[in-house]
Chains A and B, each alone.
Chain A
Amino acid sequence: MEIIVIDDNLEETSPLIIALGISYGKEYVKLFKKSSDGLAYITSNLTKKIIVILDIGFGVGEKNGREILAGIRVHNKLIPVIIWSATDIVGDDFLEFINNHALFYEKKTAPYKKIIARVKDAEHRLSLDVSTAMEEWLDEQEDKEQILMIEENGKSYSAQKLIEEIRLETEFGQRVESNILKLTIDLLFRKKEQV
């Protein structure tokens, strides 16, 4: 699990970064002061399990938090993103943050311990998520190019392709997730009958 903090006001010595390092290990906490660097890191490491803490306001020439969140969602709909900002979210920005699945919003005045609690909550949600479990299972497959499924229209899916469909929550990806969940429940209940 990596915690990606994108915030130009924080330092490596900030209480939040220190506390995250204690909880998750220093090497698993990455601070990016330039928002574009943070987005580039995330899009280059989509196979990793990631939670993002994102500020909204950045300096001139840098993408703001709304744009960064939208940029993340182009590649992955599932990464939990916690907004931690001094800026109030209003109007269309608010709608865009909601529509791009921001998980939590905390004001900068919130104590760092509250942000840690939000990160733990996000981690718990990730652990319960079917798509995360499937991503992990698919990610463990040695041959990610091996065809695992062929649709009726002839379209084939490797583990890598399935991971992408799930991450982007395409209609097909959602159907696969739903089917796996229902199969799991079906198998559990039918096996139970035989016990």
Chain B
Amino acid sequence: MIKNSIIFYYKDDYSLNDYFYNSANFGVSLLNQKADIKQSHVVGNDCNFAYIEEVEFKKHTEKSLLLIYSHGDDSGFYKSNDDSPFLNSKIDFPMCIENGLIYTNACLTGNLFAQTIIDKKASFYGYSKSVIKNPMYEKAYIECDNWGLHYIIKGYTLIDSKKEAKKKFNVEIDKCNNIFTASHLREARDSLVVYGNTSERLI
């Protein structure tokens, strides 16, 4: 079972303001239910490639849960509108990734990045497409982004956690009074992907 976690997030995003910060706080509140999982937070300016590779990852020698709340593309994670990713598939992957889990609300990282980490025996939960997030419906998006984590922490497998997250998306789609936001929630729901060890309990 995974007993260590590293949470990456930041405030003042150029487009979504404190969305990633608030979403991370929600995720951390879920994680707090598991007192036996240690937490290490990488916040704000510490979300950069050099710090993570040279400092943060060297602190962690056991398999870990990486919670990443940020923008993303096919190959990595970005803070605000930075030109370079703070974590991508070119990083010298540390031991904490092996047999660990990367859980993220970043767009598109369920492609090349996910493929790279499953080659390192890690697992992945996230989105394979770009997801339009409407800040006017922040609560719904935050809950949907973290619903899978809620079930992973409860001991569900990745596949079953994804199923539960999809149910949550459906609840939010059905009660959403803005058809465009509902349509984007549907798009997000159908771009959820899980890879790696998807059928065994990880936490």
CB distance from B127 to the nearest CB of A (A): 12
A151 near B14 (CB under 8 angstroms)? no
- In the complex the two chains form, what is the Cα distance from A52 to B74 in whole Å? 44
- Chain A residue numbers with a CB within 8 Å of B134 are 149-150
Q: Lowest 6 CB-CB distances: which A-B pairs, in order?
A: A179-B183, A154-B15, A183-B183, A149-B180, A183-B186, A153-B15
Binding site for B on A (CB under 8 A): 147-154, 157, 162, 176, 179-180, 182-183, 186-187, 190
Q: Is the CB of B15 within 8 A of A182?
A: no
Q: Can you spell out 20 A-B residue pairs with CB atoms less than 8 angstroms apart?
A: A148-B178, A149-B134, A152-B16, A152-B71, A152-B107, A152-B131, A152-B132, A152-B133, A154-B14, A157-B180, A162-B180, A176-B183, A179-B184, A180-B179, A180-B180, A180-B183, A182-B186, A182-B187, A183-B173, A187-B174
* Complex alpha-carbon distance, A148 and B16, angstroms: 16
Q: How many residues of B contact A (CB 8 A)?
A: 25
Q: At the interface, yes or no: B146 with Cβ under 8 Å from chain A?
A: no
Residues of A within 8 Å of B131, CB to CB, are 152
How far, in angstroms, from A179 to B132 measured CA to CA in the complex?
11
A152-B15, A183-B183 given. 18 additional CB < 8 A pairs? A147-B136, A149-B178, A149-B180, A150-B134, A151-B132, A152-B71, A152-B133, A153-B15, A176-B180, A176-B183, A179-B180, A180-B179, A180-B180, A182-B186, A182-B187, A182-B190, A183-B173, A183-B182
| Given A154-B14, A182-B186, A183-B186, residue A149 in contact with residue B181 (CB < 8 A) | yes
Q: Judge if B75 is at the interface, Cβ distance under 8 Å.
A: no
Known: A148-B178, A149-B134, A150-B134. A179 touches B14 (CB 8 A): no
**What residues on B are CB-neighbors of A183 within 8 Å?**
173, 179, 182-183, 186
Report if B198 contacts A (CB, 8 A): no
Is B170 an interface residue, CB under 8 A from the partner? yes
How far apart are B69's CB and chain A's nearest CB, in angstroms? 13
The digit string for B136-168, where 1 denotes a CB below 8 A from any CB of A, is 100000000000000000000000000000000
Q: Which residues of B have CB within 8 Å of A147?
A: 136
Chain B residues whose CB sits within 8 angstroms of the CB of A149 once the complex forms? 132, 134, 178, 180-181, 184
B170 near A179 with CB under 8 A, answer no
Nearest CB on A from B150, distance (A) = 22
Instruction: Give the shortest distance, in Å, between A169 (CB) and chain B (any CB).
Output: 17
* A154 contact set on B, CB distance < 8 A: 14-16
Question: Contact between A148 and B133 (Cβ–Cβ < 8 Å)?
Answer: no
Q: Which residues of B contact A187 (CB under 8 A)?
A: 173-174
Chain B contacts for A179, CB-based, 8 A = 180, 183-184, 186-187
Secondary structure call for the B interface:
helix
Residues of the A chain whose Cβ atoms lie less than 8 Å from the Cβ of B170: 190
Q: Are A182 and B183 in contact (CB under 8 A)?
A: yes
A-side contacts of B130, CB under 8 Å: 152
* A162 nearest in chain B by CB position: B180
CB distance from B118 to the nearest CB of A (A): 26
Minimum Cβ distance to chain A for residue B129 (Å): 10
- Flag if B183 contacts A148 (CB, 8 Å): no
* Chain A CB within 10 Å, residue with most, of B14, B131, B181, B184: B184
Query: Are B136 and A150 in contact (CB-based, < 8 A)?
Result: yes
Task: Establish whether residues B15 and A148, one from each chain, have CB atoms under 8 Å apart when the complex forms.
Answer: no
Contacts of A162 in B (CB 8 A): 180
Contacts of B174 in A (CB 8 A): 187
CB distance from B172 to the nearest CB of A (A): 12
* Least distance between B104 CB and chain A CB atoms (Å): 15
Closest Cβ of chain B: how far from A7's Cβ, in Å? 40
| Cβ contacts under 8 Å, B107 to chain A | 152
Per-position 1/0 for B47-80, Cβ under 8 A of A: 0000000000000000000000001000000000
